[in-house]
Structure 1
Amino acid sequence: MGDNATTLSRRRFLQAGAALGGAYLLPGLMNAAWAAGSDGPEQETVKVGFIPLTDCASIVMASVKGFDKKHGITIVPSKEASWAAVRDKLVSGELDAAHVLYGLIYGLELGIAGKQQAMANLMTLNNNGQAITLAMELTKQGVTDAASLKKLIAANAPGTFTFAHTFPTGTHAMWLYYWLAAAGIHPFNDVRTVVVPPPQMVMNMRIGNMSGYCVGEPWNQRAINDGIGFTAATSQSIWADHPEKILGTRSAWVDQNPNTARALVASVLEASRWIDASEANRRETASVLAGRAYLNTKVGYLTPRMLGEYDNGLGKKWHDDHGMHFFRDGEVNYPWLSDGMWFLTQHRRWGLLDSDPDYLAVATRINRLDIYRQAAAAAGNVAVPASTMRASTLMDGSQWDGSNPAAYAASFAIKR
């Protein structure tokens, strides 16, 4: 983005804060909780797991561009095979932190994504940029969108069609369920859903194991390039500027290493800002990510959607203003409590939680606003909102602002 785009982005961020009744504070105006010279990182090396997806970019670039060294640490990116592997290695301490699904961290905290473990969300890594891919074979039966998919499903026995996501409490499951339900398709009664690691999505669609999937990039673009699938919906069409991956870790690790946690977040914030600063930086990022150590794919599979240029595989092309973003003056990265609470409402909606939790208390416990504010000050020129909530309108017209989560969770006609 150029200077004008950056100015407009900041203006939108400030206006959003005013609309929610809270002004935005620049880090320079805040009283830092740590003192320069006495706040050295407890760890020099920080092992950070990632899944080979485009949205691991800020962690990778923090290491590649040396932003970590500026803050006194060395980030060691560790490629992992699945979200289950990330979960297990986070819990065991084999990983210090990870590029991870928002709902995975919340699920661990509540004991619905594995053995209960106190977890921490240090920052949001990106907004937008996921998609729902349908098999090209479905076009032979007249399917090009959600409405035509509903007709086909209704004409067949329940469970005839299989859809994949990446983790039971994760973001991709929630986007898939939301999109299906908005079309009148019950994601548990009308279709079959399975869990597949992101790098295995395209292969499984190619051999006919699923009719559709929800995943991050480049696996939606890859299906189009291979001629086996098309993009039926982007995640930003479900919720514009939604939270996606986060920088997650164990709560105990933060408590034991608060200065390291601050340095890690500051490093990734600086990388996020660098990526979003220009098209050239985004292209360079795509080139780095395509390498064998990271996504091990063709740069052409990454670059278009990294730049917001979309082709759905059926002839529709557009520039998406709500494509994947990594910074937007810190608006992307702030760990809004309402974002975490939204995932809890969907866990409740789909029966993953048997009763309503204390939504605000859980989000306040997990989302480490204290560490984020310190890191924003360390990174410099990162706007930090006074409000912990933000307001959004989703594809079905539902309004979400975190004010009444239990009522919101119960408000959907299709639920479990």
Structure 2
Amino acid sequence: MNSPVTPPSASLTPERPHVRLGFVALSDAAPLAAAALRDMGRRHGISIELCRQPSWAAVRDKLLSGELDAAHALYGLVYGVQLGIGGPRADMAVLMVLNRNGQAITLSSPLADAIERGASVKDALASLGRPPVLAQTFPTGTHAMWLYYWLATQGVHPLSDVRSVVIPPPRMADALVEGALDGFCAGEPWHAVAEARGAGRTVVHTSEIWPDHPEKVLACRRDFVALYPNTARALVRTMLDACEWVDAQEHRLEIADALAASGLLGVPRELIASRLGPVEGVAPLRFFDGGAVNYPRVSDGLWFITQYRRWGMLSGNGDDDAVAAAVNQTALYAQAAQEAGVALPAERRISTLCDGRVWDGSDAKAYLAGFDMRA
């Protein structure tokens, strides 16, 4: 992946040489930042313009309007739009996965103290004497699904026992400081910021809920792939280069420096770096891992659909496997990875989540039927 710059052949020349990429102020936008700041698209025939967005809803809306060509996006945002859950419906595409792990759940200091003293999560939340207010970042997003899954394993119903609210990631720490929240699930560096401000503490990392879970993806509308296949492939090639670069530990401080800029995260470098690098006892935030991170497995997309059905967000007898196969652009990714010399992992993998349940994508209906706590 480090061969000299050579122009693409005429048949592979990107149809759109300038690509507008959306992102939200999160540490896992690091590959986009690296790609833009280091001009990694040039060798693949594209230039990248980073477009910071205030919320995931803004990312959704600008992808749909065409103001953004593609974006760093929550895996579940793409599927929510595809399925028309809680917003406009459109045919969407997951081009690749950008990272695994790296998210967390932080609770207010009094709740975290109670749990540290031995109280169960259920009892600690009940001690408030009212429904706890817990925030996530998008109704169908990864953070909502991690929060709901974890609460259910603690005997807390995420719909009836909790007031779940949506807040943009950069607002999370402020809202916790202000007492508007009892906790939140989001990406970094906002947990590090909350702890630095004395507002709360991280009680669980999402890699403890689903080890090596998929998280952010490179997303676009499906018609973008159809109209500009060479551009889409060049974008995947570029982001593979960027993910490989960012995944090297010797580059983590360098990218933390870059992310600290006001136009990106606007957070002190040390707070970004503290969780962009290894966290003791926690599966690491990974962007590449030899390409194992980046393949857009259909089974990963299907898992999110099982959770929408579990929590009553999706009903009916749709063909969930077909939806996931259409959204996740495995053929385009495989082409780009082959050109880059990146190995393709197996389509299915076996994952054991924090409740001991195993997900491999082989029988989504049976998996869904096995949950005790549902909507």
Q: Does 1:100 align with 2:73?
A: yes
**Where does residue 358 of structure 1 map in the other structure?**
319
Shift of 1:388: 2.1
**Where does residue 253 of structure 2 map in the other structure?**
283
TM-score by length of 1: 0.86
The one-letter amino acid paired with 2:26 is: L
Name which of 157, 163, 174 aligns with 1:186.
157
**Where does residue 16 of structure 1 map in the other structure?**
none
Question: For the Cα contact (< 8 Å) 1:348–1:356, is it kept in 2?
Answer: no
Query: Partners in 2 of 1:319 and 1:388 — Cα distance?
Result: 28
**Where does residue 3 of structure 2 map in the other structure?**
none
Query: Partners in 1 of 2:112 and 2:313 — Cα distance?
Result: 33
Question: For the Cα contact (< 8 Å) 2:136–2:164, is it kept in 1?
Answer: yes
Shift of 1:63: 1.2
The one-letter amino acid paired with 2:314 is: L
What secondary structure sits across from 2:107 in the alignment?
strand
Q: Does 1:333 align with 2:303?
A: no
The one-letter amino acid paired with 2:324 is: A
1:244-280: per-residue Cα shift (whole Å, max 9, x none)?
0000000001100000000001000001011113x22
TM-score by length of 2: 0.95
Name which of 79, 88, 98 aligns with 1:125.
98
**Where does residue 304 of structure 2 map in the other structure?**
343
Moved over 6 A (4+): none
1:174-217: per-residue Cα shift (whole Å, max 9, x none)?
00001100000001111111000000001111111111100000
**Where does residue 300 of structure 1 map in the other structure?**
270
Name which of 221, 224, 241 aligns with 1:270.
241
1:303-353: per-residue Cα shift (whole Å, max 9, x none)?
1211113xxxxxxxx253x11100001110000111100011101101110
The one-letter amino acid paired with 1:78 is: C
Shift of 1:152: 3.0
Q: Does 1:226 align with 2:187?
A: no
**C-alpha spacing 1:139/1:37, structure 2 compared with 1 (3 Å):** closer
Query: Partners in 2 of 1:126 and 1:213 — Cα distance?
Result: 20
Shift of 1:147: 5.5
**C-alpha spacing 1:147/1:392, structure 2 compared with 1 (3 Å):** farther
Q: Does 1:405 align with 2:368?
A: no
Question: For the Cα contact (< 8 Å) 1:48–1:97, is it kept in 2?
Answer: yes
Name which of 74, 81, 95 aligns with 2:47.
74
> How many residue pairs were aligned?
369
**Where does residue 391 of structure 1 map in the other structure?**
350
Shift of 1:37: 3.5
Of 192-201 and 130-139, deviating more is 130-139
* 1:114-193 paired onto structure 2 within 5 Å: 114-139=87-112, 142-144=114-116, 148-155=120-127, 159-193=130-164
Shift of 1:36: 3.9
Name which of 202, 206, 216 aligns with 1:235.
206
Shift of 1:355: 3.0
Shift of 1:376: 1.1
Q: Does 1:112 align with 2:112?
A: no
Identity %: 47
Question: For the Cα contact (< 8 Å) 1:348–1:355, is it kept in 2?
Answer: no
1:59-109: per-residue Cα shift (whole Å, max 9, x none)?
111111121111000011100000000000000111000000111101111
Question: For the Cα contact (< 8 Å) 1:263–1:375, is it kept in 2?
Answer: yes
Q: Does 1:201 align with 2:172?
A: yes
**C-alpha spacing 1:145/1:62, structure 2 compared with 1 (3 Å):** farther
Query: Partners in 2 of 1:377 and 1:116 — Cα distance?
Result: 32
What secondary structure sits across from 2:265 in the alignment?
coil
Q: Does 1:47 align with 2:12?
A: no
The one-letter amino acid paired with 1:196 is: I
**Where does residue 60 of structure 1 map in the other structure?**
33
Query: Partners in 1 of 2:28 and 2:194 — Cα distance?
Result: 18
**C-alpha spacing 1:146/1:222, structure 2 compared with 1 (3 Å):** farther
CA RMSD across the alignment: 1.7
What secondary structure sits across from 1:38 in the alignment?
helix
Query: Partners in 2 of 1:40 and 1:139 — Cα distance?
Result: 54
Shift of 1:356: 4.7
1:365-391: per-residue Cα shift (whole Å, max 9, x none)?
00001211121123x231113x42221
Shift of 1:155: 4.9
**C-alpha spacing 1:139/1:272, structure 2 compared with 1 (3 Å):** closer
Unaligned runs of 5+ residues in structure 2 are: 1-7
The one-letter amino acid paired with 1:236 is: S
Query: Partners in 2 of 1:295 and 1:70 — Cα distance?
Result: 27
**Where does residue 28 of structure 1 map in the other structure?**
none
Question: For the Cα contact (< 8 Å) 2:27–2:187, is it kept in 1?
Answer: yes
Query: Partners in 1 of 2:341 and 2:281 — Cα distance?
Result: 29
Q: Does 1:373 align with 2:373?
A: no
